[in-house]
Structure 1
C-alpha cells in the first residue's frame, strides 16, 4: 500500500481509485470526498480518465497484426533474424510506479477534452466548418466487406458468373472500363471460380474469384482510376483477418485479397500484376 499523505490531491485520489491506500487513509479520503465538492469533482474526473485509458488500451489490443509479422510467424524461425535479436535482448528493470494509471489516463482525458473544446470554440468564433478527423473510407474498405461476405458462400453462390462463361472478360471490361487478361493462377495452386460485378467508392468494380485446395478464397478486384495513374508501387494492408495488396497501373487500381495467414500473397500479387 502507498502512503500518499502530503502529496497532491490528484495523486492521492488516483491511489484511492486503484485501491493502493491503507484502510485509515481510505476512510480519510471517503470523508474528504463526502464533504468537499472540489475533491468530489476531481475524483469523478479521475474515474472518467481511468475508463478512457482502459478503453483505449483495449482497442489497442484488438488492432490487427501487421501482415509482415503474420508471414514471419508462418514461415517459422530463422526467417526474421531481427525479431530474434529483439527477443533475446535483456529485459528492462522494473521501476517503481510513481504515477497510478488513473492519473495518467485523466491527463490524457483532460488534454483531449481541452483540445476539443478549443476546436469547438474556434469554430464558433470563426464560423468555419468543423474539421472531420475521422479517416475516410476507401474502395479497399468496401472490397474487404464484400470479400468477408462472399468468401463464406457455397460454390453455387460464390460468384455471379461461373468460370465456364466465355464472356466474362468482355462483360467486366465494358462495365468497369478496364481491359484485362484473365490471370491463369493454376501454377500458384489456385482455381478460377468465376466473377462478380461490385460497386466500391461509387464506382463499378470487377471481382475475379479463385480458390485453393484448402477452400480458401482469393480475389482480384480492379476499377478505373484517374488518368495517368501508373506508379505500380504495391501497398500491403490488413482488415482484421483479410490481407490486401494494392497498386495502380495504366489508369486502373488493382488489389489482391486473401487470408491474412497466407505467406505467399505478395508473390501472388506479383504474378497477377505481370499477367492481368
Structure 2
C-alpha cells in the first residue's frame, strides 16, 4: 500500500478486527496517527461494535432451528417452504449467528445493521434501540467516545500543563473562548472533591451551532466529559439518565443551556458527579485554579433540583 494513499473502509475494518498482517497493520497505524479524522471514525465503529456485541452476546447461545441448518446446507434452496415462524424470531437467530461468526463488527462499520429494517425489528425486539443521531445526548456520547481515549490530543485547550500561573491563564482563556463561541456563560466545574481534575476542553459542532466539551480525569485514568450547548426553545428541562452503548449519561436543561455528563462509570458514581455539576450551577459556584471556589454575582441560581 502507498503510505500516502488513504486506506479504504474495507482495509480500515480489517485493521479494526485484527485481520491484517504486521506490515499492513503498521501502515494503517501510521496513517491513523497522522489523520485524526479517520482515527475518530474507526473509534466510532469500535464503540458501536462493542455495544452491539455486549447486547447481543446471549443470542449466540440460543439453539438454531433445524430449518435454518437445512437452509444453510442447501445454499439457500429448500424443496418445501418452511412454516412461517413468528415475526422477528428467526431474525434474532440471524443476528446471533452474525455475532457468533464475527461478522457483526464489519456490518456495523459499513452501516448495514441499522440500514436493514428486518434486523432493526429483531434488535429492537431484544430491547436494543439505536439512539437517534439527531438527539443531542447521542452527540454528547459520541463526542465522549471519540475524545476520551485520546492520549496526545484529548482537548484543544489543556489546563493541566505548565506552572500554576500558566494553568490559571489557560483556564481563563478556555472559559472566555467557549463562552464567546457558544454565546452563553461557560463555567469550569470543580469535581476535585470527587477525585476528578479538569484536563481541558474543546469546541464541537451541534445541530444548530457550536457546543463545548469539558474533560475530567481521575488518578486511575478514568475520564468523564461535560457536554454543554444552547437548548432549543421549549426543550424538556427534566433531569434524566440514559444509556448509550457502554456509556451512561445524566442530562438536563436550564434556562440558558443544556448539560450532559457522560462516562463509562457506575450509575451511582455518575449521579454524584452530575449532582455536583448541577449544584455548582444552582449555587453559582465556579472552579478556581488555587483549589478553592468562588461565587460570581453574574451567575444566578437555576431553578429545580435533580432527582436521585
Which TM-score applies when normalising by structure 1?
0.54
Provide the rounded CA distance (Å) in 1 between the counterparts of 2:177 and 2:255.
20
Which gives a bigger RCO, structure 1 or 2 (Cα 8 Å, sep 6+)? Answer: 1
Q: 1:183 aligns to what SS in structure 2? A: coil
Q: 1:167 aligns to what SS in structure 2? A: helix
Partner of 2:137: 140
Partner of 2:273: 268
Taking the TM superposition and a 5 Å limit, the aligned residue runs for 1:114-193 are: 136-137=132-133, 138-154=135-151, 156-163=152-159, 164=167, 165=170, 166-193=172-199
Q: Highest CA radius of gyration, 1 or 2?
A: 1
CA RMSD of aligned residues (A): 3.6
Partner of 1:252: 257
Partner of 1:26: none
Say if 2:198 is the partner of 1:206: no
Q: Is contact 1:246-1:256 (8 Å) kept?
A: yes
Provide the rounded CA distance (Å) in 2 between the counterparts of 1:49 and 1:270.
41
Say if 2:17 is the partner of 1:17: no
Residues 1:222 and 1:16: Cα distance change in structure 2 (over 3 Å) = closer
Provide the rounded CA distance (Å) in 2 between the counterparts of 1:161 and 1:274.
25
Residues 1:228 and 1:150: Cα distance change in structure 2 (over 3 Å) = same
Residue deviations 1:75-113 (CA, integer Å, cap 9, x gap): xxxxxxxxxxxxxxxxxxxxxxxxxxxxxxxxxx9xx8x
Aligned length: 173
Provide the rounded CA distance (Å) in 1 between the counterparts of 2:218 and 2:267.
11
Provide the rounded CA distance (Å) in 2 between the counterparts of 1:215 and 1:262.
18
Which moved further from structure 2: 235-244 or 255-264?
255-264
Which TM-score applies when normalising by structure 2?
0.48
Say if 2:60 is the partner of 1:55: no
Residues 1:16 and 1:263: Cα distance change in structure 2 (over 3 Å) = closer
Provide the rounded CA distance (Å) in 1 between the counterparts of 2:278 and 2:230.
15
Say if 2:241 is the partner of 1:221: no
Residues 1:234 and 1:45: Cα distance change in structure 2 (over 3 Å) = same
Provide the rounded CA distance (Å) in 2 between the counterparts of 1:180 and 1:47.
53
Taking the TM superposition and a 5 Å limit, the aligned residue runs for 1:99-118 are: none
Q: How far did 1:174 drift?
A: 0.9
Residue deviations 1:177-230 (CA, integer Å, cap 9, x gap): 221321111111110010100113243111111001110111111101134657
Q: Is contact 2:243-2:249 (8 Å) kept?
A: yes
Partner of 2:40: none
Structure 2 gaps of 5+ residues are 1-64, 70-77, 99-117, 122-129, 160-166, 282-308
Provide the rounded CA distance (Å) in 1 between the counterparts of 2:205 and 2:248.
20
Provide the rounded CA distance (Å) in 2 between the counterparts of 1:58 and 1:200.
37
Q: How far did 1:143 drift?
A: 1.9
